[in-house]
Amino acid sequence: MTLVEQQQYRMGVIYVAFSALAWSSSGLFVRSIHADLMTILFCRGIVSGLGVFALFLFIERGNAWRIIRSMRGPSLAATVFSTASMISGIGSIYYTSVADAMVIYATVPFVTAGVAFLFIKERPSKTTLVASGIALLGVIVMLTGETGGGGSWLGKLLAGIMTLTVAALAVVMRQHRDVPMLPAMAASAWLCSFITFWFASPLLVSGHDLGLIIAFGIVQNAMGLSLYTFGSRLIPAADASLLTSLEVPLTPLWVWMLLGERPSQATMIGGPIVLAALFGHILLEVRRNRAVEPAKAI
């Protein structure tokens, strides 16, 4: 690796790591905003859509309109799945503990492997199957624990929907690699606002909450996606997956440290099992990919 490549790799690692840091702020924002869920989703969608679309225009410049006109069915599917993941993801944190929601979400790589096998016949590796089994065990341990309130199971169900829709989005993007991601993500944010508009009360939002919602849309969504977009171009996909997975433990960590939201005992047992499966699987993929690269060069 040349000096320039090393510098690019370091910059890519920094960008992607900070994108995970931005995404991990979701729990703090949801817990700090006092507005109802539909209002949060409506206002955040407008801000997020504007931020992501501005990034798209900045990157593509003169090609933006041509890219928008070329969007077809796969882009629409990506938009719908992304919208569903936004609504269910924020809803899961709203209705259950952040730790519970993120433990379920951590199974995304394994659910993605299952969805890919069912719909595009992509066979998972043995390591993926083993890691999936371990992760499932961790989730079962967490779900068998006592719930923290009447709405907790609703939050866990929404976390499951988020996981499934994110997996479906990943499969669409994998099968149709030419799908323009940024305009689809901007459209999904605005679609989220359109769906929730009918149930939202934006005129009743306090100035304090409005400021937090704007920061939520810019910092957690637009900035996170921007950093990942730039960084993922500079490092291997497996390395990017490993770094973005830091979002999973960091999200509940912030609300635990800053807001005192402690995970349940069952989550404290099941969560590390899921995280061990997740990071173990990604690390094995990173090692395998790095072993393949020198072999190809020979």
* Predicted confidence pLDDT, tens digits, the chain (298 residues): 677 777 888 888 899 999 999 999 999 999 999 999 999 999 999 999 999 999 999 988 889 899 998 888 889 999 999 999 999 999 999 999 999 999 999 999 889 889 888 888 888 888 888 888 999 898 988 887 655 444 478 999 999 999 999 999 988 888 887 788 899 999 999 999 999 999 999 999 999 999 999 999 999 999 998 898 888 888 877 677 778 888 999 999 999 999 999 888 888 889 899 989 888 888 887 777 666 555 554 4
pTM of the model: 0.88
Residue 57 lies in a domain: yes
Please list the alpha-helical segments (H only) found in the chain.
Answer: 3-23, 26-32, 37-60, 64-69, 73-95, 98-105, 108-120, 126-143, 152-175, 181-197, 207-215, 224-231, 237-244, 247-259, 265-297
Domain count, the chain: 1
CB atoms within 10 A of CB 18: 17
Q: Residue 149's pLDDT is what?
A: 45
Q: Residue 203's pLDDT is what?
A: 93
Residue 1 lies in a domain: no
Q: Which domain holds residue 33?
A: 17-293
Residue 121 lies in a domain: yes
Residue 69 lies in a domain: yes
Give Cβ neighbours of residue 221 (< 8 Å, ≥ 6 apart).
44, 48, 51, 52, 189
Q: Residue 12's pLDDT is what?
A: 86
Residue 235 lies in a domain: yes
Residue 102 lies in a domain: yes
Q: What phi-psi label fits residue 149: left (phi over 0), alpha (psi between -120 and 50 degrees) or beta? A: left
Residue 5 lies in a domain: no
Q: Residue 294's pLDDT is what?
A: 55
Eight-class DSSP state of 139 = H
Nearest to 54 by CA among 168, 218, 220: 218
Structure tokens at 130: 């083993």
Residue 7 lies in a domain: no
Distances (CA, A) of 172 to 41, 179, 297: 24, 9, 31
Q: Residue 21's pLDDT is what?
A: 94
